[in-house]
Amino acid sequence: MNDRLGWIKPVFLVLLGLVCLGASRAALGAQASTAPAASAASTRSLDLEYRELGYSVGTWTIPIALQSPPFKKEPELGQRKVYRGTLKFGDSTDAFVPFIWDPAQGKLHLDLNRNQDLTDDEAFACAGQPNSSDETFSRVRMSFKTPLGMEQMAMDLSFTDARATPNAYASAFCCWEAKVTQGGQDWQLALVDNPSGKLGSAENGSLIIRPWADRDKAVGLEYGQLDCLPFTPNVFFGQQAYRLGGALARQDNRIRYRLNLAERPEQLGELKLAGQYIHRLILTRTGPGGATPSGIGPQEAMAGRYAQNGRTLSPAPAPSLTVILDSPGPVVRIPVGSYFCQLCLKQGEVVARPLLNSFGANARNSTLVVSATNAATLAFGGPLTNSVAVTRRGRSLAMNYRLLGAQGEAYQLEGPRKQPEFTIYRPGKNGDKKLASGAFQFG
């Protein structure tokens, strides 16, 4: 039957093309895994420049405080229904922004200088048709007070009035960015501010660490996208562990984010990747106070043992850590600990990402324990198998298409692709008889 499913062949041709590529990556990955650790911890500083982007790096809900009385000075509004109030960016009133949303005209009036006069600032027109219950205003440059002066943040502001109750959302189109070379590779290291009115407070934002060549590619923000991660102070990339910290700084009469990368000593363990075609692997280690994953004993969760004054002691639980691996080989060395795993697969421009809650019965296997003594194995990944689940519903058959990984985890293909088709045949002495055919719906 599989030979007659024409849509299977393009998928497998893409995946089989990874064999040669995987071999070269395996060699490179094996070399990287044996790179020696730094002999002495050191700290280096990077000046991250403010950069506006052509893609969004995060969306947040912005609380609204509505009011009926008019502001001190307003534009001509006629008798139209408008929403008047304050956008509450963070907890400080210094960051609050008075606004008037005029849906009928598709306009947004902002008190950017916060003087209660909404006529002396720029009015923004919505990106689509006016008189809509859902309007977006593009590339609004909002200024916020920092200890070093006013600094702006480029964002899209969206408003909805479902059930006559307005909601506001801010999508950031900017970041603090620098290029850093580590492990023989150039990386984009960027911090994304949460529009809370406190610019330069990385702990409330997001972190981007990826190859420098990808810096102009849009980051994915939906489930399974692994470019933009919640900020964590402890990261491991390019075969080195760092603790991140920093603050805004002024240099050459410009505000920048000065990021300190302090090397962290970490005991390493061996990780074998049994699955194929892994493009990016994110491993998140639970720190002190975090829950120990079900089925993992205290001894397994410990980060190995060490000797002191002739005695063998158990160390304190390791702090939280995010491990970032791009196109890893079959064997890598990473800090020991208990990890939750996320990954995506790629060949050329074809990307496969796990479906939400796709691990199902195998969820316990998504917790990985890496120790200093025994090699750990991660089995998730390719090869991918095209599968059809068939169930009977009365006189009908219900068929659901699934793309399954090595451990039965479900994936979905990203980007342009052919809709999967099926054909049902009845075998017979004089040849197979075609009974039915059709196409599956994506998702």
The DSSP-derived string for 301-357 is HS---EEETTEEEPPPPPPPEEEEEES--SEEEEE-EEEEEEEEEEETTEEEEEPTT
- pLDDT at position 223, please? 57
CA torsion sign for 250, 251, 256, 262 is: negative
Say if residue 291 is in the same domain as residue 414: yes
Q: Is 196 helix (H, G, I), strand (E, B) or coil?
A: coil
**For residue 344, which of 405, 279, 273 has the smallest C-alpha distance?**
279
**For residue 71, which of 131, 133, 120 has the smallest C-alpha distance?**
120
Alpha-carbon distance of 188 to 215, in angstroms, equals: 6
Say if residue 26 is in the same domain as residue 96: no
Name the domain boundary from 152, 172, 192: 172
For the chain, the residue count is 443
- pLDDT at position 440, please? 61
Say if residue 219 is in the same domain as residue 142: no
246-252, long-range: CB within 8 Å, 24+ apart, which pairs? 246/45, 246/202, 247/200, 248/146, 248/147, 248/148, 248/151, 248/199, 248/200, 249/47, 249/148, 250/148, 250/149, 251/47
3-state secondary structure 147-165: CCEEEEEEEEEEEECHHHC
pTM, two decimal places: 0.74
Domain of residue 206, residue span: 41-56+175-265
Are 38 and 342 a contacting pair, CB within 8 Å? no
> CB within 8 A of 140, min separation 6: which ones?
108, 110, 124, 154, 155, 156, 157
Say if residue 323 is in the same domain as residue 366: yes
Residue pLDDT tens, the chain, 443 long: 333 323 333 333 333 333 333 333 333 333 333 334 444 569 999 999 999 999 999 899 999 999 999 999 999 998 899 999 999 998 888 899 999 999 999 999 999 999 999 999 989 999 888 888 899 999 999 999 888 988 889 999 999 987 778 999 999 999 999 999 998 999 999 999 988 767 777 767 889 999 999 999 998 776 557 888 888 899 999 999 999 999 999 988 889 999 999 999 999 999 999 989 999 999 999 775 333 333 333 232 222 232 333 333 344 556 899 999 999 999 999 999 999 888 899 877 788 888 765 544 444 345 789 999 999 999 888 888 888 888 888 888 787 888 888 888 888 887 655 666 778 778 888 888 887 777 765 54
Say if residue 307 is in the same domain as residue 424: yes
Structural tokens at position 54:
């052509």
Say if residue 324 is in the same domain as residue 440: yes
CA distances to 39, 174, 272 from 35, rounded to whole Å, are 12, 35, 16
Name the domain boundary from 172, 204, 230: 172
160 beta partners: 134, 167
Say if residue 340 is in the same domain as residue 273: yes
DSSP single-letter state for residue 78: T
Say if residue 47 is in the same domain as residue 186: yes
Say if residue 305 is in the same domain as residue 160: no
Strands 43-52 and 254-263: antiparallel
Are 211 and 325 a contacting pair, CB within 8 Å? no
At 146, phi and psi to the nearest 5? Answer: -125, 165
- pLDDT at position 181, please? 94
- pLDDT at position 352, please? 87
Number of CB atoms found within 10 A of residue 349's CB: 9
Domain total of the chain: 3
Say if residue 181 is in the same domain as residue 307: no
Name the domain boundary from 151, 172, 193: 172
Say if residue 434 is in the same domain as residue 287: yes
- pLDDT at position 13, please? 30
Structural tokens at position 128:
């689509």
Say if residue 185 is in the same domain as residue 144: no
